[in-house]
Structure 1
Amino acid sequence: MAAAAPADADHGGQLARRWCAACHIVSPDQTHGADNVPAFATIAKIPGFDADKITKFLMDPHPKMPDMQLGRDEAKDLAAYIVSLAP
């Protein structure tokens, strides 16, 4: 059985800019997003909300988010990127 590849935060950043930036502020150089949605840096600072929990959240989209149909590796990469934004 092959070992799982480690999450790729750089790829997660690319996914964030492609899929998430219309609503969320996904990077420090982005100046605006939609009202009433948290910036990724804010999500990264939520106590106890680690990469595993973010991955699980992304794999089960909720009504306010579009159904991006992320694969497990893409969700892990996006979660790694979000976590990388924490100070």
Structure 2
Amino acid sequence: MANLTSPARSRTSAARICTIVAFVFAGLALLLSPLLFGVLGLVLGVIGAVLGDKPLGWYAAAASVAAAVIGTIIGTLLLNM
């Protein structure tokens, strides 16, 4: 019986970890490298949503895309000053 609940628990933990890392990458996309961290955050957010962390995974994916766009705009504005 313990073996049946163990994969579900690890799957949920993996989904939550992917979602948290996706949010961290969204912040890094805003501050450091929008393209690199935005894409990584998008991928990890989708993986987290597919693995079972549905609402937060999709929010993390959307936050990564938004942070990548905003980071690109900020970077462009700073370079043109």
Structure 1 length-normalised TM? 0.30
Larger Rg: 2
- Pick 1 or 2: higher relative contact order, CA cutoff 8 A, min separation 6: 1
